[in-house]
């Protein structure tokens, strides 16, 4: 990641949040940690993040609900859904809602970094395409 990337980690397990933080340390990114969906949406409202690493199963608001809200309010943010309970239907739903990727736990440090890098490259590519696309008004 060349420029500073802002990453939000959303997981109800502290050990998971801290392992992602350690994996991303030194990768030219600012990482913030929250433990639930409500806190994630509150932080996004204060300062949208480039990439969100989002746990699917959490108490209260689940990851799919958080994903849906993020993509509605902050469509330029890339979301990586991460779950300890992978299922094909859930993966399809996540991608349909706009997730960049769907990963099954446990994921190692390299997987975390690669997923975040891939999401950021995708975001930059999408922004570049949006800037190059001519906006034509048809009356």
pLDDT tens digit sequence for 20-48: 999 998 768 899 999 999 999 999 999 99
Where does the pLDDT of residue 1 fall: very low under 50, low under 70, confident under 90, or very high at 90 and above?
Answer: very low
pLDDT in tens, 62-111: 999 999 999 999 999 999 999 999 999 999 999 999 999 999 999 999 99
| Over residues 5-19, mean pLDDT | 95
Per-residue confidence (pLDDT) for residue 2, from 0 to 100: 47
List the Cα angle 74/82/110 in 5-degree steps.
105
Residue 25 CA to residue 123 CA, distance in Å, equals 21
Mean pLDDT calculated for residue range 12-18: 95
The answer to whether residues 41 and 65 touch, using CB atoms and an 8 Å cutoff, is: no
Q: Quick one: which of 60, 59, 65, 55 has its CA closest to 17?
A: 55
CATH code, residues 5-132: 3.40.50.2300
Instruction: List CB contacts of 97: < 8 A, sequence separation 6 or more.
Output: 64, 67, 68, 71
Beta strands 51-55; 5-10: pairing state:
parallel
What are the boundaries of each domain within the chain? 5-132
């Amino acid at each position: 990641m060349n420029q500073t990337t802002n990453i939000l980690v959303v997981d109800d397990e502290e050990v998971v949040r801290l392992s992602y933080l350690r994996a991303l340390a030194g990768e030219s990114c600012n990482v913030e940690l929250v433990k639930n969906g409500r806190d994630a949406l509150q932080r996004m409202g204060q300062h949208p993040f480039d990439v969100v690493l989002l746990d699917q199963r959490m108490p209260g608001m689940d990851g799919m609900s958080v994903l849906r809200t993020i993509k509605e309010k902050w469509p330029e943010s890339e979301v990586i859904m991460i779950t300890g309970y992978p299922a094909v239907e859930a993966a399809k739903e996540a991608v349909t809602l706009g997730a960049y990727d769907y990963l099954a736990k446990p994921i190692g440090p390299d997987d975390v970094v690669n997923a975040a890098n891939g999401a950021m490259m995708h975001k930059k590519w999408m922004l570049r395409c949006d800037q190059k696309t001519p906006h034509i008004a048809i009356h």
